[in-house]
Chains A and B, each alone.
Chain A
Amino acid sequence: MGKDVLIIGGGIAGMEASAYLSAMGYQVTLVEKANELGGHLLRWERLFPTQRHGKEVLSFLHCGIDGKIRVIKNAEPVAAVTRDDLHIVTLSTGEVITANAVLITTGYKTFDASRKEEYGYGIYNNVVTSADLEEMFSSGKEMLTSSGIVPRRVGFIHCVGSRDEKVGNIYCSKVCCVTAVKQAIELKERLPYAEAFCFYMDLRMYGMHFEELYKEAQEKHGVQFIRGRLSEAAENQDHSLLIKVEDTLTGRPLKMKMDLLVLMVGFEPSDGTQKMAELFHLETGSTRFLKMADEHTSTNVSSVQGVFLAGTCSAPRTITSTITDARAAAAKITSYLSQYSIEQREN
């Protein structure tokens, strides 16, 4: 025992893996480039499917690590070399850390919606992303459009930056469908007289209780669902938006005025994840997420010995899945450091 583990990225996965590894007796160092731990969780006000506050989960994660591990904030790795199974990582602060194992938990970033120019993000004032809407919710202020009116009709556009060859992202980001339903409910709770529409290609309510949330949105809140992908949005004189979709189930093009348009932005590997791929020479798959050694049996193993993956740096995940994955990574690292090789089982 007494071996060192370096964890890069202090989001959900990094925090949870730190907690488990330190509980197992390793010396854990957690590096975070921001000045606060929590990653994206800091920005999500409430979580699907339970509408529980993000803060509660964050404080749970903090309980696992506060005072138990070494946390280095405002720092990121700038160089990494491997010598005799040891990873020597230089941080931007100048500090050099030697570790027996490295865990990458650098996570995702949301898709830059301005790349879908026809949707008007960054061009029209009343087009926001799901992340922006979450901030509007958590600010606690009154929901108003840029023209200062209470929105009467809000559209949620699914699959922005996901499942789209044209922006190079063929994968499904997994969380946006249910997030749209969650946010539509939250919106209706705040503005009961507003209409909420979800525009989807497929509704992927695959998680436990997701379908119930969908049903609740229909039943209790009257959220309407239109199967069609937004093709373009234009701005009216009053800064409301005119959107064009095909209502594929009636089989006719549909145009509709919207006061607020919410783009459900998908996941892309974060800048940190891309940087770590370069620094540690990790393979990336066709999706640009870090490649797992095996999709079934070695999900936390990277293409480089002693470097492990957890959380959304390797695939889009929900918070639940991220936490589970972090714990799995902790178990994997433990087995690696105690020289138990799962790969042997295959022989």
Chain B
Amino acid sequence: MSAKNFGFSIHKDRQIDYDKNYREFYYRVKAVEPSISLCISCGNCTATCSAGNFTSMNLRNVILLAARGEVNNLGDNVSACLLCGKCQLGCPRGVNTRNVVIAIRKELKIRRKP
């Protein structure tokens, strides 16, 4: 018996579906750059980001979304990064931010390929 649908599926559910999300993404990135797990979401990287002033590039958010397995909109976000390394200088936790971006870009690419 199929569950009764009351029309809620017209709009996509806004909840983070933690169980269905592609959380392995985060672990795969973490295997390449373990320091991603050190992030405490202080936002230093985003505030200092040259690209972030003009685009949606927000490294803190990228890391957080990756950790939740919300990978669908990450691409636009990280593609603007110029790898300038300013964020890395400020990061209080010593996260290797440049390689986090590189690893995420790479992982997204792998994922897109069938």
Residues of A in contact with B (beta carbons under 8 Å apart): 118, 159, 163-166, 201-202, 227-232, 244-248, 251-254
Contacts and interface: CB of A to CB of B under 8 A. Distances in A.
A71 B44 CA distance: 47
Contacts of A232: 47-48, 90
A246 B92 contact: no
Contacts of A244: 47-48
Nearest to B46: A246
A140 to B, nearest CB: 36
B30 interface: no
B43 A246 contact: yes
Given A228-B47, A232-B48, A254-B47, A248 B60 contact: yes
A251 B77 CA distance: 13
Contacts of A227: 43
Given A166-B92, A229-B44, A246-B44, 13 more contacts: A118-B90, A164-B92, A165-B94, A229-B43, A229-B47, A232-B48, A244-B48, A246-B43, A248-B41, A248-B42, A248-B60, A252-B58, A253-B58
B106 interface: no
A252 B45 CA distance: 11
25 contacts: A163-B92, A166-B89, A166-B90, A166-B91, A166-B92, A166-B94, A201-B92, A227-B43, A229-B43, A229-B92, A230-B47, A231-B45, A231-B48, A232-B48, A232-B90, A245-B47, A246-B43, A246-B45, A246-B46, A246-B58, A247-B43, A248-B42, A248-B43, A253-B46, A254-B47
A266 to B, nearest CB: 12
Interface size class of chain B, counting residues whose CB lies under 8 Å from the partner chain: 20 to 34
A231 B45 CA distance: 7
A346 B91 CA distance: 43
Residue of B41, B45, B89, B93 with highest tally of chain A CB at under 10 A: B41
Contacts of A201: 40, 42, 92
A163 B90 CA distance: 12
A254 B52 CA distance: 11
A253 B42 contact: no
A118 B90 CA distance: 9
B58 A231 contact: no
A141 to B, nearest CB: 34
Contacts of B45: 231, 246
B15 to A, nearest CB: 18
Nearest to A252: B58
Nearest to B42: A229
